[in-house]
Structure 1
């Protein structure tokens, strides 16, 4: 079988480093935040090219705190996209604000900046582009609109660790950038984890207070906050993995290039495109097929796992029916939701595995 991802293989390759890091935290007694988390914050901020990083318990929490720290609250609106994991919209709702959607570009499935102006109202307090599947959105165009309207941008970079836009790392362009360290991410914890980066010291300070019950000092609560702190063990594990992230990223990119070379001639399987000036880190290698279910069944019959990211766009989810949307409102997102299929991609894949997946996908494209 070829799995969609293989976390056991990753652990096997760095087992001694991970085990030593975990045992070090257990011996230290610093189980929540602590020096390992603080060191990870410094190292990840440097990796992203930002001044500050605030580690939290999930990527959703990072988005929530970034929005709150920017002053987003009840009655406000935040513009984002419907083709994303539901957490993007959930974090907006947690603040009491309302998600307002703009559709995505057909080529990249990231925010279509040409639609932004029409979505902005006097209630808009933030814009949240999603760097989907590991490729950054068109940040020049998005930031141009944001500056004209004096609205902050929060980058949802939960799938884009190390992605770049014209030489700048994901998370470093907007007012804040938010990352998830869910185990399957390019940089994944052994459990849950998240982080927000920023260059503004006041914004970073507010997020730090909000993650720890709004405390300025112990038992001195300046604001209503949350228990969103990162565990010390996760900080230590992420420090180990961060040192390997660039090698893992280049392995992913090599697999993606091979997939693209092998599948580019397919009559029905459309491969993803890396835009000029962007570094795609391929958290997911998502192809498109008009017979997505047929392709998925054929690959499963050959022992090849695939994934669906995401089969129902947020605006059509039952949980967000209160937003009043219906089928047809965001046609590009809806078409992607019907057609996108994620092929296996992880650093430990072999060239033979990549070639087998591509061969089976291409065969189904011609036969199916």
Structure 2
């Protein structure tokens, strides 16, 4: 499924980058279009149409962005409700507006009709195909099915967009890393005689892994995670100082601080994928000092799919295009402060040139 999305991404870029001269494009808009395409085909088995030549605004993309903006208001509401519990009783909160809810409900119903009539229109095992079999056995209502599909879309959209945008940005800033990654990708394509990037091919690209993990270290999508202390414990901060934790205490784990700690990571503010050559990401995760997906039983369920989509997109891009910073690139970019996640504000103009 992701291979089809990567193919449409390359066709869209070819349409945008006409001629031999480099073309400045908004990388954030490009990534949003790709991620919506990949998620829509994976979840509903339907082409969202975000990577076409149509100049009309894409309704599916607009509704997705609208839903994401609405979920961001949850942060302020949760804060007020925590300080003043009566607030939630006086002003009941609706996470998704009726207009957005109705749109996705209708979209899911239309996709379901296609599945019922055509028995899986995408020809692949998309999520809706699986959920349809569960509904057929009487375990899921139409409303529950729509809710599950929307949850996957909203949970995956911002996380994948953030990681992919920052990955492209760091590669554009560092031509050495980009050239090294391109060499690995092209050599693998030549060795395996492939033009697309399947699961096994992506798995073999170790330097691509390092680039993505270094992006997640520098710009983790989630800045902190909360956990509840399951039993009383004592944390020894130093020889003279300790903290007593009671059962039920809520702990806030500062993910961003761990990832930028010079004691753990040498040159923590530099983009150096080679740091993972000697230290495996898994080892750092087990030490709980590298937490790109959280930790424990409540870690991100969609991490494997997210990594797959991000790596497939990056491999496709660097295999056919050189990406550079240009005169329109905003340096010292601003980041959103109204979201639980780390995202860039505005546009990210980068130069794309066909190899």
Fold in common (TM above 0.5): no
Q: Which TM-score band applies after superposition, normalised by the shorter structure?
A: under 0.3
**What TM-score, normalized to structure 2?**
0.25
**What TM-score, normalized to structure 1?**
0.25
Give the number of the structure whose residues are more often helix, by fraction: 2
Higher-Rg structure is 2
